């Protein structure tokens, strides 16, 4: 037998979570004011409009040749110059990712709980130390690493490679260790139950399960790395960003757009390629 | 092949203060075939995991071939686990490895690191022949090099059984092997397990929720409820009163 309550049961629809989200949005608005943003600044004004329109119009007519009336003798044709810079950009990204993968693999193992399971107490100490190192690696942005290495090595390939490889190793290590820890534990449990050691349990019960996601993430980061390598050009590393910065300074917007479209094309090609590889790994 | 005996004296297990097994007394002779029946949550899986050496009793003693498991060091524990084959309810296979790789991983408990690595990357002729023969025995020899997740649920279960046999175990434990198969298939799975155990002289313990199936195929039935042994008799002497006690309901809620 049940009695009907006098008031229909209800729960507050505007709970603490709503308040929290509103507070975060408000904090965003306050931050904008704090850095001195006025709403009027969000649209161009004066000469700004002309430049903006000129720049956007150039998107439809990317340059096929040097825009400057005369170029120094020996300068390669514009498409060749852009193509070479793009190749170098991809080469920097591939080389940096290779370094990052080699460095990240042991870090990811040591930072994961799955590796240390069943190995006693020493593990958690090492694990936290490695996680600290990983945080340091990735909390410094590649541009800041570039500044640091420019001071140390000057404008050399090592500067570009290390500036990319260090933060990318940190991010790979962090995400890989999380992937390892989130892998389905049941195969590993079955292997432990038939007498596997912690090492063989990990290598044959965890690693193969995690491998599709581990490689998919590496491919995704390779795309990111191409963009980062391009940006390093603004520091003088001879990637596509170097050409973009120079064209931009000379107000050669049609050249800038030719370079941007070419970069977009490369990133799209890489994305399609890595998506196909990912399907092969995961399916 | 040798077969294992188990003896449990007043075994109790609790997880985070919740008692899962209480004062379980059970003796299983070498080569015996036993069904473990009871409603969900009765402690069947935990009892199997105690027999498999994965869960240590919190109280009481568990003897494997007369040796107290409690005193085992790392190496003895590994040897114990390696000699008991366990077929988990979820099969516990690596989905993206080949069937042969899952099968030869049954030997991980008996091989050193390098031999294990080699057997998984490049299985030797003997391993391949043994894996093939065992898969043939359960009717899926043609799946040797297939990716494991391409197999049906029933075929994957047989891969898990073959992995346990590849261990060369002295006992075979199966946790709810017919939990999600139709009745006709259920009988053939249980018969496969009892036939394999009989052929090889293995001690067999199978947990089931279906008492009728247990009585039809296994000579001895142990009824478990709320972590206690309710009855333990030859299959043909399980009485209607036993059945009632095992699955008794009060007001639609299982009695505690």
Provide the mean pLDDT of chain A: 90
Residue A178 in any domain: the answer is yes
By C-alpha distance, the chain A residue nearest B111 is A196
Statement: residue B228 has pLDDT above 70:
yes
Q: Most B CBs within 10 Å: which of A186, A194, A280, as the mutation test of the B interface?
A: A194
Residue A123 in any domain: the answer is yes
Q: Using a CB-CB distance cutoff of 8 angstroms, which residues of chain B are in contact with residue A199?
A: 113
> If DSSP states are collapsed to H, E and C, what string results for chain A?
CCCCCCCCCCCCCCCHHHHHHHHHHHHHHHHHHHCCCCHHHHCCCCHHHHHHHHHHHHHHCCCCCCCCCCCCCCCCCHHHHHHHHHHHHHHHHHHHHHHHHHHHHHHHHHHCHHHHCCCCCHHHHHHHHHHHHHHHHHHCCHHHHHHHHHHHHCCCHHHHHHHHHHHHHHHHHHHHHHHHHHCCCHHHHHHHHCCCCHHHHHHHHHHHHHHHHHHHHHHHHHHHHHHHHHHHHHHCCCCHHHHHHHHHHCCCHHHHHHHHHHHHHHHHHHHHHHHHHHHHHHC
Q: Please write down the long-range contacts of A179-184, taking CB distance under 8 Å and 24 or more positions apart.
A: A179/A210, A179/A213, A179/A214, A179/A217, A180/A108, A180/A109, A180/A112, A180/A114, A180/A115, A180/A206, A180/A207, A180/A210, A180/A214, A181/A112, A181/A113, A181/A114, A183/A114, A183/A209, A183/A210, A183/A213, A184/A209
Residue A62 in any domain: the answer is no
Using CA atoms of B175, B180, B182, B184 in order, give the dihedral in degrees to the nearest 10: -20
Residue A28 in any domain: the answer is no
If one counts the domains in chain A, the total is: 1
Kindly report, residue by residue over A213-224, the tens digit of the pLDDT: 998 899 999 999
In three-state secondary structure terms, B62 is strand
Residue A53 in any domain: the answer is no
Residue of A189, A200, A212 with shortest CB distance to B108: A200
Give me the pLDDT at residue B256, please: 44
CA distance B185 to B253: 30
Residue A119 in any domain: the answer is yes
Q: Most A CBs within 10 Å: which of B94, B119, B163, as the mutation test of the A interface?
A: B94
Residue B13 neighbours by CB under 8 Å, 6+ apart: B19, B20, B21, B43, B46, B50, B55, B57, B58, B227
Structure tokens that stand for A118 in this block: 């069943």
Kindly report, residue by residue over B152-171, the tens digit of the pLDDT: 999 999 999 999 999 999 99
Statement: residue B22 has pLDDT above 60:
yes
Q: In which band, very low, low, confident or very high, does the pLDDT at A231 lie, cut at 50, 70 and 90? A: very high
Kindly report, residue by residue over A135-191, the tens digit of the pLDDT: 999 999 999 999 999 999 999 999 999 999 999 999 999 999 999 999 999 999 999
Structure tokens that stand for B33 in this block: 């075939």
DSSP B224-256: EETTEEEEEEEGGG--HHHHHHHH-EETTEE--
Q: Are B53 and A200 a contacting pair at CB < 8 A?
A: no
Give me the pLDDT at residue B255, please: 44
| Domains assigned to chain B | 1-83+171-256 (3.40.50.300), 93-168 (no CATH)
Give me the pLDDT at residue A281, please: 67
CA distance A158 to A165: 10
Residue of B86, B94, B96 with shortest CB distance to A205: B94
Residue A244 in any domain: the answer is yes
Q: Most B CBs within 10 Å: which of A191, A193, A211, as the mutation test of the B interface?
A: A193
Q: Using a CB-CB distance cutoff of 8 angstroms, which residues of chain A are in contact with residue B86?
A: 190, 193-194
Q: Say yes or no: A210 contacts chain B, CB-CB below 8 A.
A: no
Statement: residue A246 has pLDDT above 70:
yes
In three-state secondary structure terms, B183 is helix
- The reply to whether ipTM tops 0.85 is yes
> How far apart are the CA of B247 and the nearest CA of chain A, in angstroms?
28
Provide the mean pLDDT of chain B: 91
Cα angle vertex A181, ends A178, A182, to 5°? Answer: 85
Residue A60 in any domain: the answer is no
Determine the angle formed by the axes of helices A122-139 and A78-111, rounding to 10 degrees. 160
Residue A180: CATH number of its domain: 1.10.3720.10
- Residue count of chain A: 283
Residue of B110, B117, B120 with shortest CB distance to A195: B110
Are B210 and B186 a contacting pair, CB within 8 Å? Answer: yes
Kindly report, residue by residue over A169-185, the tens digit of the pLDDT: 999 999 999 999 999 99
Q: In which band, very low, low, confident or very high, does the pLDDT at B244 lie, cut at 50, 70 and 90? A: confident
Statement: residue A125 has pLDDT above 90:
no
Burial of B71 (0-12, 13-18, 19+ CB in 10 A): exposed
Statement: residue A5 has pLDDT above 80:
no
Q: Are B116 and A208 a contacting pair at CB < 8 A?
A: no
Name the residue with higher pLDDT: A112 or B3: A112
Statement: residue A1 has pLDDT above 60:
no
Q: Using a CB-CB distance cutoff of 8 angstroms, which residues of chain B are in contact with residue A195?
A: 78-82, 108-110, 167
Q: Are B92 and A201 a contacting pair at CB < 8 A?
A: no
Give me the pLDDT at residue B35, please: 96
Statement: residue B49 has pLDDT above 90:
yes
Q: Say yes or no: A114 contacts chain B, CB-CB below 8 A.
A: no
Q: Using a CB-CB distance cutoff of 8 angstroms, which residues of chain B are in contact with residue A193?
A: 49, 52-54, 81, 86, 88, 92
Are A196 and B108 a contacting pair, CB within 8 Å? Answer: yes
Are B246 and B225 a contacting pair, CB within 8 Å? Answer: yes
Q: In which band, very low, low, confident or very high, does the pLDDT at A282 lie, cut at 50, 70 and 90? A: low
Kindly report, residue by residue over A54-86, the tens digit of the pLDDT: 889 999 999 888 888 888 888 899 999 999 999
Give me the pLDDT at residue A39, please: 81
Kindly report, residue by residue over B207-220, the tens digit of the pLDDT: 998 888 999 999 99
Question: With b meaning 16 or more CB within 10 Å and e meaning fewer, what string describes A36-64?
Answer: eeeeeeeeeeeeeeeeeeeeeebeeebbe
Q: Are A187 and B52 a contacting pair at CB < 8 A?
A: no
In terms of residue numbers, what domain contains A99?
Answer: 78-282
Q: With pLDDT > 70 as the criterion, what percentage of chain B qualifies? A: 96
Burial of B79 (0-12, 13-18, 19+ CB in 10 A): middle
Please count the other Cβ atoms lying within 10 Å of the Cβ belonging to residue A115.
23
What is the average pLDDT across A96-123? Answer: 90
Statement: residue A27 has pLDDT above 90:
yes
């Amino acid at each position: 037998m049940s009695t009907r309550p006098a008031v229909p049961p209800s729960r507050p629809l505007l709970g603490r979570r709503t308040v929290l989200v509103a507070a975060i949005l408000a904090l965003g608005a306050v931050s904008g004011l704090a850095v001195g943003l006025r709403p009027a600044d969000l649209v161009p004004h004066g000469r700004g409009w002309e430049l903006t329109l000129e720049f956007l119009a150039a998107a439809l007519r990317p340059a096929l040749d040097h825009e400057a009336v005369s170029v120094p003798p020996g300068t390669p044709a514009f498409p060749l110059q852009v193509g070479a810079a793009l190749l170098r950009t991809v080469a920097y990204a591939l080389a940096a990712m290779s370094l990052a993968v080699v460095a990240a693999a042991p870090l990811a193992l040591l930072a994961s709980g799955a590796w240390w399971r069943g190995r006693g107490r020493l593990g958690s100490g090492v694990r936290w130390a490695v996680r600290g190192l990983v945080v340091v690696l990735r909390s410094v942005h590649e541009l800041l690493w570039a500044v640091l290495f420019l001071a140390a090595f000057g404008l050399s390939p090592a500067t570009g490679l290390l500036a990319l490889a260090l933060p990318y190793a940190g991010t790979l290590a962090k995400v890989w260790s999380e992937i390892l820890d989130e892998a389905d534990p049941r195969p590993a449990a079955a292997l432990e139950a038939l007498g596997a050691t912690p090492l063989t349990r990990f290598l044959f019960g965890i690693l193969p399960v995690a491998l599709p996601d581990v490689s998919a993430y590496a491919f995704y980061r390779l795309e990111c790395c191409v963009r980062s390598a391009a940006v390093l050009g603004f520091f003088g590393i001879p990637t596509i960003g170097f050409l973009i910065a120079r064209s931009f300074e000379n107000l050669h917007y049609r050249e800038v757009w030719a370079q941007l479209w070419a970069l977009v094309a490369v990133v799209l090609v890489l994305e399609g390629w890595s998506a196909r590889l990912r399907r092969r790994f995961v399916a | 092949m040798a077969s294992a005996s188990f003896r449990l004296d007043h075994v109790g297990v609790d997880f985070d203060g919740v008692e899962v097994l209480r004062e379980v007394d059970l003796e299983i002779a070498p080569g015996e075939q036993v069904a473990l029946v009871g409603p969900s949550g009765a402690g069947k899986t935990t009892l199997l995991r105690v027999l498999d050496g994965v869960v240590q009793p919190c109280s009481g003693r568990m003897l494997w071939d007369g040796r107290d498991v409690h005193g085992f060091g790392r190496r003895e524990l590994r040897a114990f686990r390696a000699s008991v084959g366990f077929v988990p309810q979820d099969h516990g296979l690596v989905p993206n490895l080949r069937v042969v790789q899952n099968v030869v991983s049954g030997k991980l408990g008996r091989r050193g690191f390098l031999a294990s690595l080699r057997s998984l990357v490049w299985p030797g002729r003997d391993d391949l022949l043994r894996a093939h023969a065992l898969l043939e025995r359960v009717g899926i020899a043609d799946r040797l090099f297939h990716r494991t997740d391409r197999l049906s649920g029933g075929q994957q279960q047989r891969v898990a059984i073959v992995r346990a046999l590849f261990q060369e175990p002295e006992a075979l434990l199966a946790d709810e092997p017919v939990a999600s198969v139709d009745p006709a298939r259920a009988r053939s799975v249980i018969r496969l397990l009892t036939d394999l155990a009989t052929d090889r002289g293995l001690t067999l313990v199978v947990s089931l929720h279906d008492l009728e199936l247990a009585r039809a195929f296994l000579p001895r039935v142990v009824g478990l409820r709320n972590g206690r042994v309710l009855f333990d008799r030859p299959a043909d002497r399980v009485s209607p009163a036993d059945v009632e006690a095992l699955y008794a309901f009060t007001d639609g809620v299982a009695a505690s």
